[in-house]
């Protein structure tokens, strides 16, 4: 069970301000790096949803203990391959080898190398036998949604 932390009104307002800052596409990359390590979950979530989140901040979010925050980092089009490599062990620990949702996303991620794609597909991750033809259009749609 997740431990619930009771915060004062001042702490709640400060957290809300950080969420607004993380949501803002004009927030500088240095500040987004700091927000990626914030103790408040919504701040980390909105940092991962920011279209200008730097790759090292996404790497930090990929190591997060919260599954939702890791998934947000995974679905970001700018997530570096090193961040993608940290997600499968969490999925394996939680669901074993019968669940491939995150690994299938990694196999079709625009920043995944050919070697990583081949490794994921050879493990039976992807339902498609060869490279997916819809990969590029899927990530274009996600990138467009992030910029709106």
Name the DSSP class of 129. Answer: S
Count of domains for the chain: 1
User: What range defines the domain where residue 87 resides?
Assistant: 9-147
| Contact status, residue 62 vs residue 47, Cβ threshold 8 Å | no
* 47 in a structural domain: yes
Q: Six-digit token pair at 97?
A: 């080898």
Q: Is residue 4 part of a domain?
A: no
Tokens representing 27?
A: 């927030």
Residue 1 covered by a domain: no
Interval 7-57: pLDDT, tens: 898 999 999 999 999 999 999 999 999 999 999 999 999 999 999 999 999
- The gap from C-alpha 91 to its chain's centroid, in whole angstroms, comes to 13
Asked whether residue 2 is assigned to any structural domain, the reply reads no
Residues 32, 59: contact at Cβ < 8 Å? no
The string of pLDDT tens digits covering residues 50-90 is 999 999 999 999 999 998 999 999 999 999 999 998 888 77
């Amino acid at each position: 069970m997740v431990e619930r932390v009771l915060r004062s009104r001042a702490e709640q307002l400060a957290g809300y301000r950080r969420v607004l800052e993380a949501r803002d596409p004009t927030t500088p990359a240095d500040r987004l790096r700091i927000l990626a390590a914030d103790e408040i979950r919504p701040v980390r979530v909105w940092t991962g949803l920011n279209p200008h989140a730097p790759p090292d901040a996404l790497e930090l979010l990929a190591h997060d203990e919260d599954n939702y925050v890791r998934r947000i980092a995974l679905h970001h089009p700018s997530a570096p391959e090193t961040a993608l490599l940290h997600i499968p062990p969490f999925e394996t620990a939680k669901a074993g080898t019968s669940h491939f949702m995150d690994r299938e996303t990694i196999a079709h991620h625009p920043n995944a190398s050919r070697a990583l794609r081949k490794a994921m597909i050879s493990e039976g991750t992807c339902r498609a036998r060869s490279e997916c033809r819809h990969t590029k259009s899927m990530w274009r749609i996600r990138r467009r949604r992030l910029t709106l």
